[in-house]
Amino acid sequence: MASRLITPPEKFNRENSYLIINAHKAELDTLVLWLKTVPTDYDFYFYHDQMSEKTWPEDVAYTVKKILVNRDFEDLLHSGLKLILDDLQDRIVHFGSKTQYPILVKYFFDEHKKLDLF
């Protein structure tokens, strides 16, 4: 099986899945390049606050391993999604300026190092 990059309205159920919220295009491009270098398959659900599917990330959030939220644009999220994210704090990882992960792919680099996959 290969990694999947998923946008609304698609939904799958794989153990190694992540919801990524409000990432920049350049960050997503870097993530795709990184995927080519790792043996692990992922499901990456991508959501941006300008998408029309407002309930899709709310449904997906309950099924993923982690939710990566761009702290720089967190205030743009609609209230329903904010409520769910408040409910799922143990799954949230922030990326962006003034966080431990200034760029999105750093989180995955660090996770692979912990698992000795590099």
Amino acid identity, position 51: M
Render pLDDT for 18-65 as a digit per residue (tens, 0 to 9): 999 999 999 999 999 998 888 888 999 999 988 888 889 988 999 999
- First and final C-alpha spacing in the chain: 20
How much is the pLDDT for 117?
Answer: 46
| Domain 4-110: assigned CATH number | 3.40.50
Question: Residue 83 pLDDT more than 70?
Answer: yes
pLDDT, greater one: 118 or 26 = 26
Q: Which range, of 1-10, 18-27, 86-95, averages the lowest pLDDT?
A: 1-10
Q: What's the whole-model pTM score?
A: 0.89
How much is the pLDDT for 93?
Answer: 96
Q: Name the residue ranges covered by the structural domains of the chain.
A: 4-110
Average pLDDT for residues 93-112, to the nearest whole number? 91
Of the CA atoms within 13 Å of residue 26, those in its CB half-sphere come to 3
Q: 75 Cβ partners below 8 Å, 6+ apart? A: none
Average pLDDT for residues 69-84, to the nearest whole number? 88
